[in-house]
Structure 1
Amino acid sequence: MSSIDTGIGERMKAAFRRFPTGVAVIAAAGPRGPAGLTASSVASVSLEPPALSFSVMGGRSARVILDAPSFTVNLLGSAHAGLAHDFARDGGSRFTPEQGWDVLPTGEPFLPGAQANLRVAPLHLIGVGDSTVVVAAILDVLLGPAGGRLVHHDREFLVHEDGDDY
């Protein structure tokens, strides 16, 4: 893979910056406490069996998630732009009482105010370059309050409230 034209990689980043995506925080219980990261690569994979996918790079939070037997994928809404930003950068506030985190009876951290919380277990971890693609079985779904959208586009978190014009 090292023979790939680096110009293609830069153009690929520019192309995907133009492609708006939903935003999630993926969270796991780790040996030193909870760990989490913002992801804009979450996608539905299958209904039978229920499964989703996302990709991560090799930071500390990603390693905790990749080592966890189960974790949560918290699908964020318009009220969570600040939280998404905090979990997207090193040194951001994480798992504070003000953010509203709780713990499921099975031990995973989850965000009750998210639009949905998916408790998942990894099925496949696929190394691709400096990233890992995770395919995970959906074990449980908790639906939170609906309303408003949070979108990642061109390196920004954009909020769209219900009733706003596009």
Structure 2
Amino acid sequence: MTSAQPAARPASDFGASVPAHGPGASLSAATFKELFRGHPSGVAVITASGDDGPVALTASSVASVSVDPPLLIFSISAMSSATPAIAAADTIVVHLLDADDLDLARLGATSGVDRFADRDAWAPLPTGEPVYRDVRAWVRCAVVSRMDAGDSTIIAAQGLQATIAREAAPGEPGDALVYHNRTWHRLGEHSRIA
């Protein structure tokens, strides 16, 4: 005995659609940005030691991809002044931020500033990479792969060393910093829905 399958609904029933025009056509940059403005993401600052000194940038694209080996990925835009040094580095540090680290997130996202002017805010590791002090967590990584993707570079890196200063208990929201719709947000008990 087979059960009847419900009739498939046309895609037009699933909400507004912005079609690409013609075979092989692509969404516009504006439409693609609009898609992801509604998709929240965690916030990180990536640092490396470059030929001209330390560099940093804020990224909202960090994701874990494997625990054995411990691998993460992130993308960096060609528009960032820090991109050449980070893309060329053999090792980098990924700072995983919470709401207490908002000032650092803003610093890494601001163009034209010296992100290392405050010598009390960071220190080089014995291996040379700059690490910001008092962040929620950081992980030193070896870069294992790079891939050009449009106007960005995707980097895969393997975790080598980590420090966790502030961690939420399992199942607790902690004080996560999230970037959503061009603004910073704090996750907490008030944002829990299930």
Q: Which amino acid in the other structure matches residue 149 of structure 2?
A: V
Residue 68 (structure 1) shift: 1.1
Does the CA contact (< 8 Å) of 2:101 and 2:136 recur in 1?
no
Correspondence for 1:13: 33
Does the CA contact (< 8 Å) of 1:28 and 1:64 recur in 2?
yes
The aligned runs of 1:58-137 (5 Å cut-off) are 58=78, 59-97=80-118, 100-137=121-158
Computed over aligned residues only, the root mean square deviation of the Cα atoms, in angstroms, reads 1.8
Residue 97 (structure 1) shift: 2.6
Overall identity of the aligned pairs, in %: 37
Correspondence for 2:190: 165
How many pairs were matched up? 161
Local SS of the residue matching 1:97 = coil
Aligned partners of 2:35 and 2:26: how far apart in 1?
Answer: 16
Structure with greater proportional strand content: 1
Runs of 4+ in structure 1 over 6 Å off: none
Q: 1:148 to 1:99 in 2, by over 3 A?
A: farther
Unpaired runs of at least 5, structure 1 = none
Aligned partners of 2:132 and 2:96: how far apart in 1?
Answer: 9
Does the CA contact (< 8 Å) of 2:41 and 2:60 recur in 1?
yes
Correspondence for 1:150: 177
Unpaired runs of at least 5, structure 2 = 1-23, 168-173
Which structure has more relative contact order (CA 8 Å, sep 6+)? It is 1
Aligned partners of 2:117 and 2:135: how far apart in 1?
Answer: 15
Local SS of the residue matching 1:55 = strand
Correspondence for 2:171: none
Question: Greater Rg, structure 1 or structure 2?
Answer: 2
Q: Which amino acid in the other structure matches residue 35 of structure 2?
A: A
Local SS of the residue matching 1:11 = helix
Q: 1:142 to 1:79 in 2, by over 3 A?
A: same
Residue 153 (structure 1) shift: 0.6
TM-score by length of 2: 0.76
Aligned partners of 1:93 and 1:99: how far apart in 2?
Answer: 14
